[in-house]
């Protein structure tokens, strides 16, 4: 069940969910939106994409099926 990850970890109105395949996402019940990025750190917790140290915070690199890379914010 989606629940606060820790009392002091998530801001008000936020909780998290865990997909059936293990990916963690964050839920904002005030704006009725979801995101892969932790609302405090701006980093994905476990979304299946590799974090690259040379990208700005909040960006990830993904790949299309043709092997081209693209960037996700």
Partner 1 sequence: MDQKISYDDYQLPVVFLPSYESPPAWIPPQERIHHPDYNNELTHFLPRTVVLKKPPGAQLGFNIRGGKASQLGIFISKVVPDSDAHRAGLQEGDQVLSVNDVDFQDIEHSKAVEILKTAREILMKVRYFPYSKVIFIVPLLPEAEGEDCTLGGRVELDEGTRMVTQRMRRRCVKRTSTASSSSH
CB distance 64 to 71 below 8 Å: no
- Closest residue by Cα to residue 14 from 28, 3, 34, 24: 28
Residue 70 sits in the site that holds partner 1 (CB under 8 A): yes
Residue 27 sits in the site that holds partner 1 (CB under 8 A): yes
Minimum CB–partner distance for residue 59 and partner 1 (Å):
12
Minimum CB–partner distance for residue 60 and partner 1 (Å):
8
Contacting residue, 4, 11, 42, 48, with partner 1 by CB under 8 A = 48
Instruction: Identify any residues that bridge with 72 across adjacent strands, giving them in sequence order.
Output: 60
CB distance 62 to 69 below 8 Å: yes
Residue 56 sits in the site that holds partner 1 (CB under 8 A): no
3-state secondary structure of 24: strand
- What are the residues binding partner 1 (CB under 8 A)? 1-2, 5, 16-29, 32-36, 46-50, 62-67, 70, 72
């Amino acid at each position: 069940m989606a629940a606060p990850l820790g009392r002091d970890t998530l801001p008000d109105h936020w909780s998290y969910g865990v997909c059936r395949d293990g990916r963690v996402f964050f839920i904002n019940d005030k704006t009725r939106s979801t995101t892969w990025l932790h609302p405090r750190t701006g980093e994905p917790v476990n979304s299946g994409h590799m974090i690259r140290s040379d990208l700005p915070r909040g960006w990830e690199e993904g790949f299309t099926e043709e092997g081209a890379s693209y960037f996700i914010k």
